[in-house]
Amino acid sequence: MNSLTDQQLLRDYAGSRSEAAFAELVRRHIDFVYSAALRMVRDRHLAEDITQGAFVALAQNAEQLTKHPVLAGWLHRTSQNLAANAVRAEVRRRAREEKSAAMNEQLSNETDATWESVAPHLDAALGELSETDRDILLFRYFQGKSAREIAQTLGLTDEAAQKRVNRAVERLREIFAKRGVTVGAGSLLVLISGNAVQAAPTGLFTIISTSAAMAGTAAISTATKTIAMTTLQKSLLTATLIATVSTSIYQTKQASTLRAQMQNLQQQLQPLTDQNRQLTLDREKGTRQLSALRAEIGRLNSNQSELLRLRSETGRLRHQTNELGKLVRTWSAASTPDQSSESTNFPKDSWAFVGFGTPEATIQSFMWAKSRGDVKTAFDAATPELKRKIMDLYFKDKTDAEISDLLVDSSKNQNGVRVLKRMNVADDQVIFQVHFDGYPEKSFDILSLKKIDDEWKVSNTEDHVEQK
């Protein structure tokens, strides 16, 4: 059963009323549903009733849910609706009995100040998310699924699944911020992973798996009524039965002997009970810490992979730049351009936007954009790498208007562009040696252009190199 998906288990239950399939569904999701209900109603007994109601609804709607991709999302929404109804009924009851202070006393049991500020808003915030974002968060941090398991379930790549998880976490953090709860994304994930899912009370699994499985039989009405009994009604019924049995026992001659034996057994079992309770608490704490560490390790692994990719890309670009620099220096030293020619390839009054279809067209369009202060066209003439480099070196923290003024100022003394030499390095790379009319006659610049998607872009410049 462990290897089957939720949808396969639902089909088994809907088709053949397999109690084993339904029991496996309850085992997988009972902690998650109970924890969500407990956060919403702040009452363990009422949370048990809501948990039972959610699984009764699951049994009744099993056939319709066989094609639902994420069962946890449907269970959370159902628990939220049941909790809302239960809370409204509880508020009315407490108003009549003037016992509204009881709910506030439960809040004093919280020990972690940060979790105390997050927990009251968590389920409402999840409800504000889209179904896709909510389902993927429930998968990742409430059910402990890896990014690969999420990708396989939703038919995505591992990278796409991780991006969806990061996006959903950021949106959840923004919802908390709107509610006045400021918490970082990393801290929020640690809190949710360590506290959101708690173990359901012992015995609740048996009650639900047995009672809810009857929803597909003729006894569904009786089972639903039984599950719908409030905790108080169950307690009263139990107390009545105990009183009746006790009365019979006391009528026998063995009453005193049995009482003594019971007390003796209780005394013997008390140390074991205390030890078991402590071990349970330690296990729950260890489970929360392990889940938080797994989430943090997953996040660090993702960041490490991205860092390695960026380092590799930086090394490749640095190597290309060094090779290009060597080529340009070798080419520049090989011969001195003829400075006696007075012909100007692109006089200033001929500058116009002629597109980026050829290297010469790109130079002319770039000079035209500079002279007019057209920031967009000027940057469109450069490769993305050169654009980032120029922005970091010259235009960091400047507005478009300021950049436009600087472009116009830089072209005031440039009266034309004269191409001195051209070298075709490759089919998609050309290097020009140019002189700007208006600059010292023995100066020239090196412009490297690269072809990207049928357009030529300026990829590197070396300015005002003095000829010797």
Residue 450's SS3 state is strand
Residue 383's SS3 state is coil
- Nearest 10 degrees: Cα torsion 262, 267, 239, 228: -120
- To the nearest whole percent, how much of the chain has pLDDT over 90? 39
Q: How far apart are CA 86 and CA 417, in angstroms?
A: 80
pLDDT band, very low/low/confident/very high, at 184 (cuts 50, 70, 90) = confident
Helical pair 158-178 and 147-154, crossing angle rounded to 10 deg:
100
Whether the CB-CB separation of 430 and 453 falls below 8 Å is answered with no
Averaged pLDDT for residues 270-292: 87
Short-list 89, 95, 58, CA closest to 231? 89
CA distances from 157 to 170, 311, 432 (A): 20, 23, 44
Dihedral angle sign, alpha carbons of residues 87, 90, 96, 99: negative
Q: How far apart are CA 200 and CA 34, in angstroms?
A: 6
Q: Decide if pLDDT at 241 tops 60.
A: no
Architecture of domain 346-466: Roll (3.10)
User: Six-digit token pair at 21?
Assistant: 């399939």
Whether the CB-CB separation of 68 and 22 falls below 8 Å is answered with no
Looking at the chain, the number of H-run helices and the number of E-run strands are 18, 5
pLDDT band, very low/low/confident/very high, at 41 (cuts 50, 70, 90) = very high
Whether the CB-CB separation of 50 and 38 falls below 8 Å is answered with no
Q: How far apart are CA 130 and CA 225, in angstroms?
A: 34
Predicted structure pTM score: 0.32
- Reported as a single tens digit per residue, the pLDDT across 382-422 is 999 999 999 998 898 999 999 999 999 988 889 999 999 99
Residue with tokens 């023995």: 442
Q: What is the mean pLDDT of the chain?
A: 81
Q: How far apart are CA 182 and CA 327, in angstroms?
A: 54
With b for 16 or more beta-carbon neighbours within 10 A and e for fewer, the 286-320 pattern comes to: eebeebbeebeebbeebeeeeeeeeeeeeeeeeee
Q: What angle do CA 175, 176, 178 make, to 5 degrees?
A: 65
Averaged pLDDT for residues 255-281: 78
Q: Decide if pLDDT at 299 tops 60.
A: yes
CB hemisphere CA count around 441 (13 angstroms): 5
Predicted local confidence at residue 418, as pLDDT: 92
Residue with tokens 């990207």: 452
Q: Decide if pLDDT at 6 tops 70.
A: yes
DSSP 302-347: HHHHHHHHHHHHHHHHHHHHHHHHHHHHHHHHH----------SEE
- Per domain, the residue ranges of the chain are 6-231, 252-334, 346-466
The H or E element that residue 423 is part of is strand 416-426
Which of 136-150, 217-231, 362-376, 413-427 is predicted with the least confidence, judged by mean pLDDT?
217-231
Short-list 391, 407, 390, 455, CA closest to 428? 455
